[in-house]
Amino acid sequence: MTRQEKTRRNKLARIIIGKWAIPDLVPDDFWDFKTGRPADNNGGDTLLLFILREMSDTVEFDGSASEAIQKVSGILEEARDDMAELDCNLYPYWDNRKCGKELWA
């Protein structure tokens, strides 16, 4: 990884972590700023860690900042769609009054 790529990775990670709405969040718990990669984290906010890992694995850091942010935005939209689909699939089981299904039956 080039120095420029590591700098860009770290900047984008700082933006994502900084916008996360958790008080007292420690950025170093989620991102290794020495390596420019997600930290090995055994707890904490796993959704944030997921987003950082996806960003690290899929974003091309040799392009523009807007291209990188657009890619992260796409990752978030995809995750949101997956979560919405999961919610729809689970819905009949948690509200059996409406759907008449019981998970443990």
Beta bridge partners of 83: none
Tally Cβ neighbours within 10 Å of residue 38: 21
The proportion of the chain whose per-residue pLDDT surpasses 90, expressed as a percent, equals: 7
In a domain, 11, yes or no: yes
- Section 35-56 average pLDDT: 83
CA 97 to chain centre: 34
Report the pLDDT averaged over residues 38-63: 82
Tens of pLDDT, residues 63-93: 888 888 888 889 888 888 888 777 767 766 5
Whether 31 is in a domain gets the answer yes
pLDDT of residue 34: 93
Domain count, the chain: 1
The residue-averaged pLDDT of 39-49 equals 78
Provide the domain limits for residue 65. 3-99
Cβ neighbours of 48 (radius 10 Å): 19
Residue 38 lies in a domain: yes
Please report where in the chains the tokens 């860009």 appear, as a residue: 8
For 44-70, what is the mean pLDDT? Answer: 84
Q: Is 30 inside any structural domain?
A: yes
Q: In 37-101, which ranges are continuous DSSP H helix?
A: 46-58, 65-94, 96-99
